[in-house]
Structure 1
């Protein structure tokens, strides 16, 4: 395999992602982005840059970005853009608020603001000596993935193939494939990985569990007085848990295939998904099942069933993946915690094939894009808005949390929502008495923060990317797609009694876009990420 052939797309993808971040989070908020068709111009650290783009807010690049030097346009490299970005990010006195968008998303949770605001602003003002290395590591990871994919066989299951399609990662993240830990490529979904789970046995008196765990017990036998606990092999290598009478290694288990999140796998023989803890930073977050998230998954599974059932009466395409139980060892409650999740194949009707929305954002080419888009928005967006307005439920309907059920003709006929970690309940609309305070707090958003999360995940992260793929360079088609979405949402607003958040959205209020670049520069937790405003295509 030609190393240069692999390195070129890795460099291009890294450059494009960082440039998008600069447009959205650095130059844009300072008023230093200008349309100059067919280009977009921006100024970063005093240097004028340009790129041909299409796709509206998705900022799809049509050619290599350039910088103006001595009166002529020169190719821009990743190293040059990193240097310019570092210069501007080191002077963020006018861009230092990570807490949110006052007047757009409302005031964020005040306790969270007080708890992190000063520290986040301090970190933004400090130099970040890790940033350039993280960008380079992400680029190198993309190159390694491309090389591994060229040697590997993709899964025959079309849903799993879609889960493993995200070679370049988040298009608006400066380090979309940053991944700590050795041997990561062995477990990378993008490299078409598959591996046997490790099976442990936990003594009954050293066990913590809740809910329906039939799927775990079916993975294999356990010694008397013990219960079976599957583990991710990478997880075990990192944790090195003490083995003995309380925790016994039973050896290899059934084959597992990693999904797009890396730490959630599908076990084909058992037809179940398992969400593991991995003490590894992937993009922004260290991926671990906190103890309150284990309990929260089971609690939300019970609470959401009747609410989603009611919404499904109005939106029959809606489906979801329950997380009915968790199991862990008391000595490693978070490190070895595993959450059981239903398989998407059990959620889809016969003849319907699930596909990851993020994969559709890379390659969706229906014969009638407007009709396909109308069906897509009806299936995906309308139930998310309904759940928020009618029931105070916040779904994180971003591209990696939504599976779209396609019929035999490739039309979107169902939407399957997953990953209860991101689901929140609007404060004041749910009785959480009786829950542990930490569990209740982790399940709750105030109304403004919850609506901002809904709008970012659904419209900014998700629908803008799908629309850009469908429209390609056809700006008129892109406008027609958003007019169709507006018509659907306006009809829904009337049916729901014209709720204020939806009225503001349709009136053209700016959309909140998550500030991934700033939070990575600040070396802050992902929950500290605020928003920057972008233009609303529904206006």
Structure 2
């Protein structure tokens, strides 16, 4: 650890940063070039001419058992994140196009893909900033009290972030730690008053009125204090500052908070880059959330008839101030239902991402069968029968556990990532930009479903359930295959699902390529990885 105290925050942050970047290199740098080889108990890969090795388990999840090493002058030496950054930079500078551009795997069109620059001076700093953020989170977490609410505790458990991202905890701006869910933060929202004639509102945002009282002629608008500090709006007659409001707790996305007083979650705009994106509510996303809630309400009512455990968190309305586009978007807040309002009595919602970090259940096969049966069939039903694309990744799914810990419900959330399959829905009458933001073509939509459901989600849960037992991991995927095959039969064996069951490669999102090319997240391509269902 080069002078770091073992298990200190700095050492743990270095270990996590190195592991995440190495996973990216396996998937996006060495893998597509055929420079990854199994050499049990190690996995070998070559990056920029340097041979690396690491012990692995968990299949496609690439859980590392022990420190990665590099071959130097015939001897294996410990690898550091700084050294791997230099190797990755050398390899990425040599790549002619972004990952996914030349692959026969569904990906955005070539027009959407930006060719990476020969160098990215920001890259090393982003990786280092993410590592430093993890260390800061670990130090703050050691002195903080976790919430008593088990759901909130699970939301605040993702200390290390995305396992396949080069800088999962890099965050822009100053003072971020006081708003960090991983540090068990809580803080009062700031209450603003918007004069009624400049109020921007659509749908039902009445839950916001439970947070306090506005003066006569004004409507209440809660604001995230971090965002308010970034925007620095001019207060006057049309927009007034009413001071601190009720205390809220941030959920895993940072900008979405749980407001117990409103019995709702509040999704704020936040002009800060978190992982790949600046987390701002664009005007068309505000309108899109309300539109999708209206359209998906009858769909989920029908879905719950087939799958009683299927739940979702509607986003019935938003509120902001019509004081120019900057403040309209920057001060906007979307109301989202709380998971406690949709889960059955006695069922506890837990973030799937937190379950991926947990310990194996007492009966792994039965637990896994219940888990896959709760999460996967509703997603497939929505896509093939209703033309609806969900993003069921680890941060967008809450799993409802019964008192014994068995998965019995699946709660899907975040309508920003939900889309409608083009040609399957009548979007006449919508603003063209809103309609565009709500749709994917069928190929792109299917790639997104498969990536989120299988690559990002189920592979991670399976790795946790199996631990280092490769035989059990194979059994788990046989169980998953049976669940998906049964749904395929019920849907009439649609070709994309048949191809998946036949072993077609899985599309894995290229987060390293996106960060290296400094492209928008929507420009991310996919790299193919082996299909464990084969």
TM-score by structure 2 length?
A: 0.97
What is the CA deviation profile of residues 262-296 of structure 1, one whole-angstrom value per residue up to 9, with x for unaligned ones?
Answer: 00000122211000000000011000000000000
Of 175, 179, 185 in structure 2, the residue corresponding to residue 193 of structure 1 is 185
> Structure 1 residue 381 and structure 2 residue 376: aligned?
yes
What is the CA deviation profile of residues 85-125 of structure 1, one whole-angstrom value per residue up to 9, with x for unaligned ones?
Answer: 000000002xx1456565332x64x5xx42x33xx11xx13
Which secondary structure does the structure 2 equivalent of 1:269 belong to?
Answer: helix
Question: Are the equivalent residues in 2 in contact too, given 1:98–1:528 (CA < 8 A)?
Answer: no
Q: How does 1:274-353 map to 2 (within 5 A)?
A: 274-331=266-323, 332-353=327-348
Of 371, 376, 399 in structure 1, the residue corresponding to residue 366 of structure 2 is 371
> Structure 1 residue 484 and structure 2 residue 479: aligned?
yes
Unaligned runs of 5+ in 1: none
What is the CA deviation profile of residues 303-328 of structure 1, one whole-angstrom value per residue up to 9, with x for unaligned ones?
Answer: 00111121221111100000000000
> Structure 1 residue 425 and structure 2 residue 417: aligned?
no
Question: Are the equivalent residues in 2 in contact too, given 1:387–1:394 (CA < 8 A)?
Answer: yes
- Aligned equivalents of 1:199, 1:52: Cα separation in 2: 52
> Structure 1 residue 155 and structure 2 residue 150: aligned?
no
Q: How does 1:389-428 map to 2 (within 5 A)?
A: 389-428=384-423
- Aligned equivalents of 1:391, 1:228: Cα separation in 2: 37
Which moved further from structure 2: 220-229 or 14-23? 220-229
> Structure 1 residue 498 and structure 2 residue 499: aligned?
no
> Structure 1 residue 215 and structure 2 residue 215: aligned?
no
- Aligned equivalents of 1:430, 1:102: Cα separation in 2: 29
- Aligned equivalents of 2:208, 2:7: Cα separation in 1: 45
Provide closer, same or farther for how the CA distance between residues 236 and 528 of structure 1 changes in structure 2, counting only shifts above 3 A. same
- Number of the residue aligned with 1:474: 469
Which secondary structure does the structure 1 equivalent of 2:19 belong to?
Answer: helix
Which secondary structure does the structure 1 equivalent of 2:319 belong to?
Answer: strand
What is the CA deviation profile of residues 203-223 of structure 1, one whole-angstrom value per residue up to 9, with x for unaligned ones?
Answer: 111111011112011211111
The CA deviation at 1:225 is 1.1
- Aligned equivalents of 1:486, 1:461: Cα separation in 2: 17
> Structure 1 residue 70 and structure 2 residue 62: aligned?
no
- Number of the residue aligned with 1:232: 224
- Number of the residue aligned with 2:159: 167
Question: Are the equivalent residues in 1 in contact too, given 2:100–2:527 (CA < 8 A)?
Answer: no
- Aligned equivalents of 2:20, 2:81: Cα separation in 1: 10
- Aligned equivalents of 1:101, 1:352: Cα separation in 2: 46
- Aligned equivalents of 1:60, 1:2: Cα separation in 2: 23
> Structure 1 residue 176 and structure 2 residue 168: aligned?
yes
Which secondary structure does the structure 1 equivalent of 2:211 belong to?
Answer: coil
- Aligned equivalents of 2:239, 2:342: Cα separation in 1: 34
- Number of the residue aligned with 1:86: 89
- Aligned equivalents of 1:17, 1:489: Cα separation in 2: 29
Of 29, 34, 42 in structure 2, the residue corresponding to residue 26 of structure 1 is 29
- Number of the residue aligned with 1:104: 105
Which secondary structure does the structure 2 equivalent of 1:333 belong to?
Answer: helix
Provide closer, same or farther for how the CA distance between residues 364 and 388 of structure 1 changes in structure 2, counting only shifts above 3 A. farther
Of 509, 523, 533 in structure 1, the residue corresponding to residue 518 of structure 2 is 523
Provide closer, same or farther for how the CA distance between residues 100 and 432 of structure 1 changes in structure 2, counting only shifts above 3 A. farther
Of 345, 350, 356 in structure 2, the residue corresponding to residue 361 of structure 1 is 356
- Aligned equivalents of 2:408, 2:452: Cα separation in 1: 21
- Number of the residue aligned with 2:457: 462
Which secondary structure does the structure 2 equivalent of 1:455 belong to?
Answer: helix
Which secondary structure does the structure 1 equivalent of 2:497 belong to?
Answer: helix
- Number of the residue aligned with 1:510: 505
Question: Are the equivalent residues in 1 in contact too, given 2:100–2:510 (CA < 8 A)?
Answer: no
- Number of the residue aligned with 2:533: 538
Unaligned runs of 5+ in 2: none
Question: Are the equivalent residues in 1 in contact too, given 2:190–2:244 (CA < 8 A)?
Answer: yes
- Aligned equivalents of 2:202, 2:455: Cα separation in 1: 36
Which secondary structure does the structure 1 equivalent of 2:434 belong to?
Answer: helix
Question: Are the equivalent residues in 2 in contact too, given 1:272–1:340 (CA < 8 A)?
Answer: yes
TM superposition outliers: structure 1 runs of 4+ over 6 Å: 1-4
Question: Are the equivalent residues in 2 in contact too, given 1:424–1:443 (CA < 8 A)?
Answer: yes
> Structure 1 residue 39 and structure 2 residue 42: aligned?
yes
Q: How many residue pairs are counted as aligned between the two chains?
A: 528
- Aligned equivalents of 1:141, 1:42: Cα separation in 2: 28
Of 437, 448, 452 in structure 1, the residue corresponding to residue 447 of structure 2 is 452
Which secondary structure does the structure 2 equivalent of 1:197 belong to?
Answer: strand
What is the CA deviation profile of residues 140-161 of structure 1, one whole-angstrom value per residue up to 9, with x for unaligned ones?
Answer: 0000000000010000000000
